[in-house]
Amino acid sequence: MIKLEVIGDPIEHSLSPKVHGAALDAIGVEFEYAKVRVKGGELKDYLSHVKRDKVDGFNLTMPHKKDIIEYLSSVSEEARKINAVNTVCVRDDKLLGYNTDGIGFELSLNRNGYEFSRSRVVIIGAGGVAGTLAAQACASGAKSVRILNRTAEKADEICEMVKNNFPSGDIKAAEIKELCDKCENADIFINATPLGMRGVEKDFEDLSFLERLPANALVADLIYNPAETSLMKRGADLGLKTQNGLGMLIFQALAADEYYLEEKLDMQKMYEKVEKALNF
């Protein structure tokens, strides 16, 4: 029996128990997976519980992905480079930190026949996930990465962070008004904003930038609810390939489970089982 948890604040709406539950069922492992509300600044108390109650590992969401790092015995290279951890394994009282968001997204690209390697990538948004994906793109040998965001300074910060770790990466921030121009040279377009998400009032006001994407480009939304956002629908109407965020959600969980179980999984086979079990 493996005992796992997910922590964050808020945590009520986390899909992690469902996704990990489906994945661990598919793998055939006996498990417990609980949601625990841990407020910012309360990690120390939470870690006492981990030790006392013999928790084998935990996933992290807002606001802990950075703050956990000072408590860890080791941090994987990819997590150190983006300064964010989403998975912690407990081994012999040691806490080992990893980040599976980047690889999770890249596996979802691969499933649709795309890869970061040699691709020109345009990302809209400059929050936590945009930074992770920009770093993953550069780590995997993207030809270029362009980041555009409402708050320009945040895109600049991501570029600086990624440049520090991947000096040879061609990564630059661009202004939102340059979106159409940047799309002309994109193989992979990623929406890393909540625009178009169920429950979020705002959506893209103008999707004409999609018309500028090359015919074989991919429109990747990180949103999975709704399953087809207005961005994806317009992309599909234009004949472009599209994907939603479900692939990333499932693959990042499967990659975390590989760490928990210390076992390599057949990711594509497992994906199919988990997707079917989730029935979104």
Q: Please list the active-site residues.
A: 65
Question: Contact between 249 and ligand NAP (CB under 6 A)?
Answer: yes
In this chain, which residue has its C-beta nearest to ligand NAP?
127
End-to-end CA distance of the chain: 27
Q: Which of 57, 128, 169, 235 binds ligand NAP (CB under 6 A)?
A: 128
Interatomic CA distance for residues 209 and 98, integer angstroms = 36
Question: Contact between 22 and ligand NAP (CB under 6 A)?
Answer: no
Q: Which of 197, 210, 219, 274 binds ligand NAP (CB under 6 A)?
A: 197
Residue ranges in 198-217 that form contacts with ligand NAP under rule CB under 6 A: 202
Question: 120-123: which pairs have CB atoms within 8 A and are 24 or more residues apart?
Answer: 120/144, 120/146, 120/185, 120/186, 120/187, 120/188, 121/145, 121/146, 121/186, 121/187, 121/188, 121/190, 122/146, 122/148, 122/182, 122/183, 122/186, 122/188, 122/189, 122/190, 123/147, 123/148, 123/190, 123/192
Q: Which of 82, 248, 254, 270 binds ligand NAP (CB under 6 A)?
A: 248
Q: Which of 75, 129, 142, 217 binds ligand NAP (CB under 6 A)?
A: 129
Q: Of 49, 93, 99, 39, whose CA–CA distance to 69 is shortest?
A: 99
Interatomic CA distance for residues 10 and 13, integer angstroms = 8
Report, in Å, the least distance between residue 7 CB and ligand NAP: 15
Question: Contact between 190 and ligand NAP (CB under 6 A)?
Answer: no
Question: Contact between 125 and ligand NAP (CB under 6 A)?
Answer: yes
Question: Contact between 24 and ligand NAP (CB under 6 A)?
Answer: no
Whether 50 contacts 72, CB under 8 Å: no
Q: Choose the binding region for ligand NAP from 88-96, 121-129, 166-174, 231-239 (rule: CB under 6 A).
A: 121-129
Q: For residues 50 and 60, which CB has a smaller minimum distance to ligand NAP in the complex?
A: 60
Q: Which residue is it, tokens 């965001």?
A: 149
Q: For residues 154 and 241, which CB has a smaller minimum distance to ligand NAP in the complex?
A: 154
Residue ranges in 139-158 that form contacts with ligand NAP under rule CB under 6 A: 149-151, 154
- Count of residues that bind ligand NAP according to CB under 6 A: 23
Q: Which of 89, 158, 195, 220 binds ligand NAP (CB under 6 A)?
A: 195
Q: For residues 4 and 129, which CB has a smaller minimum distance to ligand NAP in the complex?
A: 129
Which residues are near ligand NAP by CB under 6 A? 125-130, 149-151, 154, 192-195, 197, 202, 222-224, 245, 248-249, 252
